Amino acid sequence: MVVLKSVRPAISCSSFGFDGDQLVPLHKVSFVNLTLPASLLSVRLSSRNNAKLSLVQATKESSTASTNDSAAVFSATNGKATNIVWHKSSVGKVHRQEVLQQKGCVIWITGLSGSGKSTLACALCQALYSRGKLAYILDGDNVRHGLNRDLSFKAEDRAENIRRIGEVAKLFADAGIICIASVLSPYRKDRYACRSLLPEGDFIEVFMNVPLQICEVRDPKGLYKLARAGKINGFTGIDDPYEPPLNCELELPQKGNNCASPCEMAEIVISYLEEKGYLQA
C-alpha cells in the first residue's frame, strides 16, 4: 500500500520504487500520477490533509480503489477540471483487441525534419493494412490542420502540441488500434511524458537517426532553406536543439549514402511488433 500524506505538482510515482506502507514524502498538494501494475491499487488519504486524488489509469484492465480514514472518496481534480469521475465501461481494451485480433500500442516516430518520419509512417500503415491489421497515423503536420490549429511553434505551444498528440494516441491504443505518431517531438521530456501515459511496453519509440546534413540536402518542404535565410526562427536543428532518444526501442540509422527503403524500414518495425505479440490478440 502507498500512503499519501500530501501531493506536489507533476510528480510521477511508480509502485516499483516503494515497499509496502512506505510513506511518500510529498508536499503542497496539487496532483499525483501513479503508474502501477494491473494489481489492485490501495491508497489511503489522510483526512487531516483534506486531500483530493485523481487517478489516471495507465495499466491493463484493472480496478482501482481509493479510501480515506472515514469513507470512500473519488472527488477528482485533473488539471483545471474539478469534480469529475472516471466512468468505467463494461467493454474494455481486452475485448476490443479480441475483436481486432491485435494489441493496441503507440509507435512514436521521431527525428529531424526531412528524416523520413511521415514516409515511414505511411509505408508502415500500408504494410499493416495488407496484413489485415488496423492502424492510424497521427502526423504532426496533419494534426495542426484541426486539433492543434490553435497552437504556434513557440516552446510552450510545441509542448502542448505533443501533449495533445500523446493523449489522442493513448485513446487509439486503448481502442486496440496500432497508432503511428509521426512527430518531430524534439525534446526528451515531452516524449517521456507521452510514454508515461501508456502501460509498460505499449509505447514504441522509433528514432529516425538521419544526420542534419542529409536532412538539409533533402529539405522536402524547403524549411531548412527558409531557416538558414532567417525567415523561420526556432527551427529544430538550426537554431533550436533536437534531443535524440537515449533508450528508444528501435533506431533506423542512415548508413553512409545507403538508405533502406521505406518498405524495408516498415518491415523492421513489423518484425518488432510480431516479436512482442502486438499483431495478435
pLDDT, position 177? 98
pLDDT, position 181? 98
Rounded Cα gap, residues 251 and 236, in angstroms: 19
pLDDT, position 256? 67
158: enclosing H helix or E strand: helix 155-174
Long-range contacts of 158-164 (CB under 8 A, 24+ apart): 158/186, 158/187, 158/190, 159/187, 159/190, 162/187, 162/190, 162/191, 162/193, 162/194, 163/190, 163/193, 163/194
Active site residues: 185
- Sign of the CA dihedral with 247 first, then 216, 232, and 147 last: negative
Q: Which residues of the chain fall below pLDDT 70? A: 1-77, 256-257
- Secondary structure string (H, E, C) spanning 220-275: CCCHHHHHHCCCCCCCECCCECCCCCCCCCEEEECECCECCCHHHHHHHHHHHHHH
What residue type is 135 in one-letter code?
A: A
pLDDT, position 71? 35
Cell numbers for 271: 518484425
> What pTM did the predictor assign?
0.74
Ramachandran assignment for 224, one of left (phi > 0), alpha (psi -120 to 50 degrees), beta (any other): alpha
Cβ neighbours of residue 23 closer than 8 Å, sequence gap 6 or more: 3, 5
Domains along the sequence of the chain with CATH: 2-84 (no CATH), 95-275 (3.40.50.300)
Residue whose grid cell is 486503448? 174
pLDDT, position 164? 98
Cell numbers for 216: 538539409
β-strand partners of 232: none
What residue type is 245 in one-letter code?
A: P
pLDDT, position 229? 95
pLDDT, position 136? 98
pLDDT, position 81? 84
Instruction: Find the farthest-apart pair of alpha carbons in the chain and give their distance in angstroms, rounded.
Output: 68
pLDDT, position 80? 83
Q: How far is CA 32 from the centre of its chain?
A: 18
What residue type is 224 in one-letter code?
A: Y
Rounded Cα gap, residues 225 and 246, in angstroms: 29
pLDDT, position 121? 98
